[in-house]
Chain A
C-alpha cells in the first residue's frame, strides 16, 4: 500500500485540469526495472529530491529483500535489459550487497547512491562484486554542482567531499563511477556555464582518468512539486518517438507495488494496477506534471 505523505514533507501533484486531453502511451517491452530498495529512507535530505527522501520518518518503507528478489526474477524472465537500485540511499539497506549480487547474476545492474557510505571496505566489496559478475555493475554517485559550497547548499554539509571521496575510492579499485547531476536552479551560475564540462573538469582535476558524467533534469515532484510541468497531450505524444519516453520501456517497484517509472515510483499517481510486473506492462497515461519534463527533454533515467 502507499504510505501517506507526512504533512509538510511532501506535496503530491495537483490534479490535472479536466479540460486537458491526456495522451496514453503503449508499453513496448521491459528494458529497465527500477528497484526503490530503501523506499524514501536516506541519510541526506536534498532540497530537490524527487521523492522527498530523508533520514526521519520515511514516508515509503524500505523493501523486503524477498520482494526484491521476486521482482528481479520475474523481470529477468520477461527479458529485462538493465536493473537499477535506488531509494532513498540504497546502501542503507542491510542486504544491499547480496541483493546486488542476486541481480547481477541475471542482468547488468546499476546502483544510484549519494556515495556517503562508500568507505574503503564498501568500495572493495563493490569492486570484488563487479570483478566476479557476468554483467556490468555500474555505480552512479550523485553530486549536483562542481562548486562544493553550492553543492552542499542542496545536498547538505560535507556531501560534496564525501561523494568525491567515494568516486575516488571506486576509481582506484577499477570501477568507473558515473557522476550524476541534476540541471538545478542556475542562479549563481556563470553566464554560458557549461555544467557538463565543469563537472567533467572537476573529475579530471580530482585524478579521475575516465570521467563519466550524466545530467538529469529537475522534475516537479517530491520536494520540487508544483514547480512547472504539465500533461502531455495526444498531439504532443504523436510528435515524438515513443521509445524516447521511459514509461514505454520501464517499470519501478517499491514497497506498495509496481509503478510506471522511476520518477513516480512510490507515489499513488504512479501506481500501476497489478501486483506483478507482468500484470503492469500495459498502457499508461502521461498525466503527471513530471511527464512534460520527460517529453520536453527526452531525458532518460537510464545510464545511456
Chain B
C-alpha cells in the first residue's frame, strides 16, 4: 500500500470521510471548513456510493485542493471490481451495497476512476508535535470497521504502536467517535459527510483537529447542515432505493444495519 508523507507540519486541519456522492454536503463542508482557518483539508475516502451523480464531487474536491486517500469504494471503482469491498457479511447489507455499486460504477467517468486510482492508501503528517497516520478503515485493513463500542483500548494501542503514530484518523464505519488513551495518544473516527449518522437528524459531521504547542490535541466534531431535500429529490429522480432517500430525510439508517454492533444499533430507529 502506498503512503504519502506531507513535508510540513500543520496546526489545524479539517478531515472528513465518506462523501458517498453527496455533492451538496461536500460543498457545505468545504464552505464551513474554509471559514475556520485550516491549513489543509483531507478526505479519508469513499467518494461514491449511496448518492446520485457520482461525477459531481470530483470538481469540488479538486477545486478546493482536498488531499485524499483511497477508500475501499474508490479502489473498487478505480479497478472496476465486481463489488465495493465494503466488508459486509450479511445478505441484506450486501443487497443494498450491490445496488449502490452498480449505479456508481456505471456513472463514474473514466478520468475520475483513473484519478481515484492514483490516491495513496495512507498519509502521514505532523499535527504540531503529534505524528498522525490517516487511513480509511484502519491502518491494517482498508475495509475494517472501527466502531466505538467494539474497539478496545488494547487494540487502539496496538494500532498506534504498529503505525508508529500518536494519532490515527480513520472513517469507513459512518459514525464519528474519539478515544484518548491514558498515555495521551488518540484515535479519531472522523465520521462521514455523505450520510447522516443514524441519530434522527439529517445533518452530517466532519472533524477539526488543532495542535497548539504545549497543549493536548484538540478534536472538534463539526455538524454540517446542507440542502438534504435537494439531494433526496435527485436520488428519487435517479430511482435510487427509497430506503436510501428515507435515511437522507430522517437521519435514521434503514440499510447497512447488520454491520452495526448492538450498542450502536440500539441507538437507531431500525
Binding site for B on A (CB under 8 A): 28-29, 76-82, 106-108, 130, 135-138, 174-176, 178, 196, 200, 210, 212-215, 243, 300, 303-304
Contact = CB atoms under 8 A, between A and B. Distances in A.
Nearest to B259: A304
Contact of A196 (B92, B140, B141, B149): B92
Contacts of A196: 91-92
Interface stretch (B59-67, B96-104, B150-158, B234-242): B150-158
Interface of A is mostly: loop
10 contacts: A77-B154, A80-B154, A81-B151, A108-B152, A136-B150, A137-B262, A138-B261, A243-B141, A304-B89, A304-B90
**Max count, chain B CB within 10 A of own CB: residue among A81, A82, A107:** A81
Contacts of A81: 150-152, 155
Given A196-B91, A210-B265, A135 B150 contact: yes
Contacts of A214: 90
B159 A79 contact: yes
Contacts of A107: 152, 154-155
Contacts of B151: 81
- Interface size range of chain B in the complex: 20 to 34
A80 B262 contact: no
Contacts, number: 75
Contacts of B259: 304
Contact of B140 (A29, A106, A175, A215): A29
A29 B155 CA distance: 10
Nearest to B260: A304
B107 interface: no
B155 A79 contact: yes
Nearest to A194: B91
Contacts of B230: none
A75 B157 CA distance: 13
Contacts of B159: 79
A178 B154 CA distance: 26
Interface in B108-163: 140-141, 145, 147, 149-152, 154-155, 157-159
A300 B90 CA distance: 11
Contact of A176 (B89, B150, B266): B266
B219 to A, nearest CB: 19
B262 A79 contact: no
Nearest to A174: B266
Contacts of A200: 92
Interface in B245-270: 257-259, 261-266, 270
B7 to A, nearest CB: 31
B126 to A, nearest CB: 25
B266 A79 contact: no
B154 A176 contact: no
A78 B158 CA distance: 7
Nearest to B158: A79
User: 6 closest Cβ contacts across the A-B interface?
Assistant: A79-B158, A136-B149, A107-B152, A108-B150, A136-B261, A76-B154
Given A174-B266, A175-B262, 8 more contacts: A106-B152, A135-B150, A135-B152, A136-B149, A136-B261, A212-B258, A243-B141, A304-B145
A89 B182 CA distance: 37
A214 B145 CA distance: 18
Contacts of B264: 136
Contacts of A80: 152, 154-155
Nearest to B262: A176
Contacts of B158: 29, 78-79
Nearest to A79: B158
Nearest to B266: A176
A138 B151 CA distance: 14
A278 B139 CA distance: 22
A196 B89 CA distance: 13
Interface string B10-41: 00000000000000000000000000000000
A29 B259 CA distance: 21
A122 B157 CA distance: 34
A82 B262 contact: no
Nearest to A195: B91
